[in-house]
Amino acid sequence: MKHCLTIAGSDSSGGAGIQADLKAFSAHGTFGMSVITAVTAQNTQGVFDVQDISPSVIAHQIEAIFDDIHVDAVKIGMVSRPETIEIIAKTLQKYTLPPLVIDPVMISKSGYDLLQPEAKKALIEILLPMATIITPNLPEAEVIVGYTIETLDDMKKAAVDLHQLGCKYVLVKGGHLVNDATDVLYDGQAFYFLEEQRLETVNTHGTGCTLSSAIAANLAKGLHVRQAVTEAKAYITEAIQHGFSIGHGVGPVHHFYNLYTKAGIIE
């Protein structure tokens, strides 16, 4: 069994963050491990408070994993402060780094800032160049490149500009497009388009976390980046299609729908 590590924030409602990452890892038949960067107080209606974990504890969590367990892939999500980003990069550089997926989490669906303004520079200059692939949605990509992204051509331009920051692959996610949810994958030479019809549902909590973790799990299993992304896209599409309500706001996607179906579990 392959081992996947998520470095991200905790979601107390279980739909996103560390909890979504671990579910996605498990759904892909890999063993999930975690380094918690922050604890959030959130539910389906929003994020209400955040407590950042100290840099030393973050470093010790990473060291505890790498000093004992072989890591086949790493996914990085919520890293809200410059000092958090700096300690993650410094600690990871002590080891032979496996495939690294970075989901540049910045703003929650309810509008809560999950990346402090002063951390943007550190994210761009320190962390993104280490990535095998980065997976920004349109608002996140806009923050990084500094211009509005509204069309497929805009997404292609952004993918090129993001690639120039040093990562090997860029996946610009089109979930915020007006029309169908088309994602653009760029490897520095060619564009690949992953097209899906838009699903009309409010239950999309954790989509970005889940997709990036699915990509990491696929990379851990030895898939090429393009195949890893393609299969992860199919997985998240099914998970969104069967998302469900658990509270009064945005419900989670269904991480285990395919497995539950095979097991004959009736919800």
Active-site annotation, residues: 173, 204, 206-209
Q: How many residues does the chain have?
A: 267
Q: Which amino acid is at 21?
A: D
Cβ of 244: how many Cβ atoms within 10 Å?
12
What whole-number distance in Å separates Cα of residue 79 and Cα of residue 59? 13
Q: What residues form DSSP beta bridges with 205?
A: 252
The C-alpha R_g of the chain, in whole angstroms, comes to 17
Q: Are strands 46-52 and 31-43 parallel, antiparallel or unpaired?
A: antiparallel
Cβ of 152: how many Cβ atoms within 10 Å?
16
Give the pair of three-digit tokens for residue 185: 């994958």
What whole-number distance in Å separates Cα of residue 28 and Cα of residue 26? 5
Distances in Å between the alpha carbon of 88 and those of 3, 76, 83, 93, 207?
A: 19, 9, 9, 8, 24
Helix (H, G, I), strand (E, B) or coil at 82: helix
Nearest to 165 by CA among 119, 120, 136, 124: 124
